[in-house]
C-alpha cells in the first residue's frame, strides 16, 4: 500500500511543478515579447514631407495623397501649395484621410504663391482652412549684396556659396525677420518655425578674432523662443558632422518638428549643402536613439524627407521609410 501513496504524491508534485513551469514559460514569453513600435507606442502619426515625391503631387494631387496614406502615413507636411487653393488642398487631404498641420512657406515669393513677405492675412486664412498649426520657413534668405546665380551655377551650389559669405550681422537680420513674422503669426494662432540645412552650421564671418559662433548659434540666440521654434532636419544636422541628440539636448524647448532623413556613410561632413541620401533605416543615423530623444525634447511632429538623387522610384522610397518606421521599436 505504500507504493500507491508515493505514486500519488509524486503525481501531485509533478502536476504542481508542471503548472509552475508552464506559468514561468508564459511569463518568459511575455517578458520577451516584441516591444511596441515607437510611433504606435507614443500615439504619433508617421508623417511625410511631400517634397520627397517631387512633382508627383502636382501632377495628381488626390491620387498621390491616397497612395501616401496607403503606405501607412497619417500626416503630411506641405512644401508649398502646388498652385492649388487652400480649399482644394483641405478637401484632398480629408479624402485621403491625412492630417496636415505644417507647411513650408518661403520668406519671399511671387504671388499667387504664399510667402512670409506677401499677404500675411491671406496666408493665415489659408493656413486655418487647411488646418495648419505651424508655418515653417524652409531656408535662409540671400542678402541682395551677395547677388544671384552665376553662369552655370546650380541653385544648391549658389546657396552654399552665398551662405559661406554670411556675416554674423546677416544671420542677425534673418533672426529679426523671423521674430517679426513669428509675432504676427502668433497673434493669428499659428507658430512659426525655422528649418535648417547644413550651411547654417558654418562659423559666421565678421565676428572678429576668435569668433566661433555658427549661423545656427546666432539664429537660436537672436530669435524669441516663444515666437520662433525650430524644425530639426536630422539628416542635414548629421551631414554637417553634428549629433542631432546633442543639439536637441543643448537647446531644450526650441524644437517642435523633425525631418526624419537618413544618409549613407559616404557623406563627408560639410556645410556646403551636400549629402549622400538614403531611405530611412538604410543609412547611418541611429533612429533608436534619435527618436526618443526628440520626443523627450518636445517633438511630436515627425516627417520623413528624402533628398535626391533617388536609387528607386520616389513612391517606393517613401514606402520603404514608412515600413521601417512603422516597425521600429526603441
String of DSSP letters for 121-139 = HHHHHHHHHHT--EEEE-S
Yes or no: say if 181 and 124 are a contact pair by the CB < 8 Å rule: no
β-bridge partners, 329: 37
Per-residue pLDDT of the chain (330 residues; tens, 9 = 90+): 433 444 444 444 544 455 555 455 555 555 566 789 999 999 999 999 999 999 999 999 999 999 999 999 999 999 999 999 999 999 999 999 999 999 999 999 888 899 999 999 999 999 999 999 999 999 999 999 999 999 999 988 998 899 999 999 999 999 999 999 999 999 999 999 999 999 999 999 989 877 899 999 999 999 999 999 999 999 999 999 999 999 999 999 999 999 999 999 999 999 999 999 999 999 999 999 999 999 999 999 999 999 999 999 999 999 999 999 999 999
Q: Are 129 and 90 in contact (CB under 8 A)?
A: yes
Task: Give the span between the Cα atoms of 67 and 70, in whole angstroms.
Answer: 5
- Taking phi over 0 as left and psi of -120 to 50 as alpha, with beta for the rest, 22 belongs to alpha
Q: Name the 3-class secondary structure at 215.
A: helix
| pLDDT at residue 20 in the model | 52
Q: Tell me whether strands 262-263 and 277-278 are parallel, antiparallel or unpaired.
A: antiparallel
- Predicted confidence at residue 24, as pLDDT, reads 56
**Which grid coordinates belong to 190?**
499659428
Which stretches of the chain are assigned E, i.e. beta strand? Answer: 47-49, 75-78, 99-104, 134-137, 191-195, 228-233, 255-260, 262-263, 277-278, 301-304
Instruction: Tell me the pTM.
Output: 0.90
**Residue 126 is placed in which grid cell?**
489659408
Separation of alpha carbons 316 and 323, rounded Å: 10
The Cα 161–Cα 153 span in angstroms is 10
For β-strands 262-263 and 191-195, DSSP reports them as unpaired
Per-residue confidence (pLDDT) for residue 102, from 0 to 100: 99
Domains of the chain: 47-326 (3.20.20.150)
Distance CA(296)–CA(300), nearest Å, equals 9
Residue 286 corresponds to which cell in the numbers above? 541611429
Amino acid at each position: 500500500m505504500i507504493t500507491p501513496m508515493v505514486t500519488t504524491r509524486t503525481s501531485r508534485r509533478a502536476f504542481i511543478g508542471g503548472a509552475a513551469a508552464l506559468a514561468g514559460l508564459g511569463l518568459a514569453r511575455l517578458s520577451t515579447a516584441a516591444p511596441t513600435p515607437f510611433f504606435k507606442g507614443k500615439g504619433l502619426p508617421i508623417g511625410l514631407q511631400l517634397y520627397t515625391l517631387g512633382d508627383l503631387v502636382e501632377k495628381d494631387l488626390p491620387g498621390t495623397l491616397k497612395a501616401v496614406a496607403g503606405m501607412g502615413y497619417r500626416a503630411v507636411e506641405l512644401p508649398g501649395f502646388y498652385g492649388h487653393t487652400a480649399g482644394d488642398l483641405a478637401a484632398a487631404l480629408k479624402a485621403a484621410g491625412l492630417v496636415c498641420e505644417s507647411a513650408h512657406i518661403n520668406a519671399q515669393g511671387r504671388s499667387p504663391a504664399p510667402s512670409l513677405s506677401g499677404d500675411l492675412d491671406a496666408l493665415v486664412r489659408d493656413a486655418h482652412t487647411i488646418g495648419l498649426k505651424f508655418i515653417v520657413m524652409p531656408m535662409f534668405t540671400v542678402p541682395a549684396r551677395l547677388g544671384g546665380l552665376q553662369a552655370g551655377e546650380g541653385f544648391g551650389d549658389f546657396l552654399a556659396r552665398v551662405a559661406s559669405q554670411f556675416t554674423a550681422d546677416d544671420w542677425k537680420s534673418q533672426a529679426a525677420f523671423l521674430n517679426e513674422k513669428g509675432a504676427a503669426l502668433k497673434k493669428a494662432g499659428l507658430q512659426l518655425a525655422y528649418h535648417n540645412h547644413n550651411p547654417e552650421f558654418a562659423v559666421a564671418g565678421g565676428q572678429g578674432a576668435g569668433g566661433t559662433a555658427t549661423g545656427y548659434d546666432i539664429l537660436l540666440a537672436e530669435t524669441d523662443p516663444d515666437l520662433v521654434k525650430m524644425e530639426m532636419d536630422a539628416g542635414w544636422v548629421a551631414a554637417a558632422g553634428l549629433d542631432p541628440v546633442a543639439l536637441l539636448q543643448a537647446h531644450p524647448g526650441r524644437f517642435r518638428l523633425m525631418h526624419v532623413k537618413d544618409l549613407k556613410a559616404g557623406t563627408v561632413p560639410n556645410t556646403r549643402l551636400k549629402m549622400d541620401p538614403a531611405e530611412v533605416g538604410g543609412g547611418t543615423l541611429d533612429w533608436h536613439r534619435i527618436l526618443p530623444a526628440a520626443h523627450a525634447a518636445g517633438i511630436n511632429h515627425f516627417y520623413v524627407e528624402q533628398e535626391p538623387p533617388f536609387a528607386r522610384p520616389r513612391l517606393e522610397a517613401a514606402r520603404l521609410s514608412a515600413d521601417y518606421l512603422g516597425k521600429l521599436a526603441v
